């Protein structure tokens, strides 16, 4: 009886902790910033102000609450689509020089967390 009580209490504690833990780990900010810097993203983007491209906060707002937000950001940074710039002109978006999906997803998640 005592062993089953301990087992039940342990299982309950594990379940309680699982519900308290976030579903996703927070993005690695330093790694994201390093990847942005290595790819000259900061020439066109800043966290909170519009440069040649939109502020990262504006990008995050655009995709907030949308299930496909990460996929949309990943497409923008990996496929080189034509994008409209702040001055109204258009150009091909630079492709991030990385094939590491974990690294790319971390960057997308960090952008969306702004």
What is the tens place of the pLDDT at every residue in 36-76? 999 999 999 999 999 999 999 999 999 999 999 999 999 99
Q: CB neighbours (10 Å) of residue 109?
A: 19
d(CA 90, CA 94): 12
CATH 1.10.760.10 is right for the domain spanning 27-112: yes
pLDDT, residue 18, reads 42
What's 25's DSSP letter?
P
Q: Which residue has the tokens 């502020």?
A: 55
Does residue 16 surpass a pLDDT of 80? no
Closest CA to 63 of 82, 52, 77, 79: 77
Helix ranges (DSSP H) in the chain = 2-20, 29-38, 56-63, 69-78, 101-112
Q: Quick one: 101 exposed, middle or buried, by C-beta within 10 A (0-12, 13-18, 19+)?
A: exposed
């Amino acid at each position: 009886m005592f062993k089953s009580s301990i087992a039940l209490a342990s299982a309950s504690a594990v379940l309680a902790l699982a519900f308290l833990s976030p579903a996703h780990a927070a993005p690695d900010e330093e790694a994201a910033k390093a990847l942005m810097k290595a790819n000259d993203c900061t020439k066109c983007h800043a966290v909170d102000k519009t440069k040649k491209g939109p502020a990262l906060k504006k990008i995050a707002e655009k995709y907030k609450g949308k299930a496909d937000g990460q996929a949309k950001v990943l497409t923008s940074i990996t496929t080189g689509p034509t994008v409209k710039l702040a001055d109204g002109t258009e150009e091909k978006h630079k492709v991030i020089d990385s094939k590491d999906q974990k690294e790319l997803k971390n960057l997308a998640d960090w952008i969306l967390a702004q």
